[in-house]
Structure 1
């Protein structure tokens, strides 16, 4: 005799099968996985970056839910990275992966960005090809 488990989060008397841990139905298991993932992220940013509870969300909302540099990425498919000063540990803001990698490549050098700006304004290929 097989007894089917019922979801512990559904209304009493619900006939929804609960094959997932808990036991939970598919809908409530999806919600539980999402809750666990958010809790793990919260714990990680607290432990690694020293942020307080809810600080990530406060910064995210303060940046209007966008990468602080490119202003395009929203973190919808991949959470924005916590950018911090590696020397002082100070959290500077939230960045998309591309912008965070760019800062990492620059090693916090403002000269890098000055050169990049000049490169965009006056590309070397333009001058080289004019002399040709």
Structure 2
């Protein structure tokens, strides 16, 4: 006897064969796996950062759906990270009151992590991009 998908609606179409646990057809198996993955991510965010999955999505939406720092990464390939103030919560876990932004891994490790949240270093990085301080030295050496 062939099993049929328990999620297929018989009022819409004939239920499809269900070779996967549940029993579910391929379409409903994928949908359940996606929902399970999202639920697991929400639980991890809650346990680690003290904010709900809905809080995470609200922050991300307020940021235009992109990394707050680079505004390029959208989390389509790899989920964006929750950044929190390590002075408040020095470990990986956060109390939820010190969440600062949702950022991509590159900005989290490459910008904030490497500079260790040093605001003076961040200001110097801005100066490099805006003022090109090496050009002053080169102009002086070349007699301009």
Indicate yes or no: 2:55 matched with 1:55: yes
Q: Work out which of the residue numbers 123, 127, 132 in structure 1 matches 2:137.
A: 127
Indicate yes or no: 2:116 matched with 1:107: yes
- 1:42 to 1:129, Cα distance in 2 relative to 1, 3 A: same
- What is the root-mean-square deviation of aligned Cα atoms in Å? 2.1
Q: Would you say how many aligned residue pairs link Structure 1 and Structure 2?
A: 130
After TM superposition, give the deviation of residue 43 of structure 1 in Å: 0.3
Q: Deviations over 1:55-97 (max 9, x none)?
A: 1111111112111111122112222110111121410010011
Matches of 1:129 and 1:88, distance apart in 2: 45
Q: Deviations over 1:13-39 (max 9, x none)?
A: 734221122111111111101100110
After TM superposition, give the deviation of residue 117 of structure 1 in Å: 2.2
Relative to the length of structure 1, the TM-score reads 0.85
Any unmatched runs of 5+ in structure 1?
A: none
Question: Higher relative contact order at CA 8 Å, sep ≥6: structure 1 or structure 2?
Answer: 2
Any unmatched runs of 5+ in structure 2?
A: 90-97
2:16 match: 16
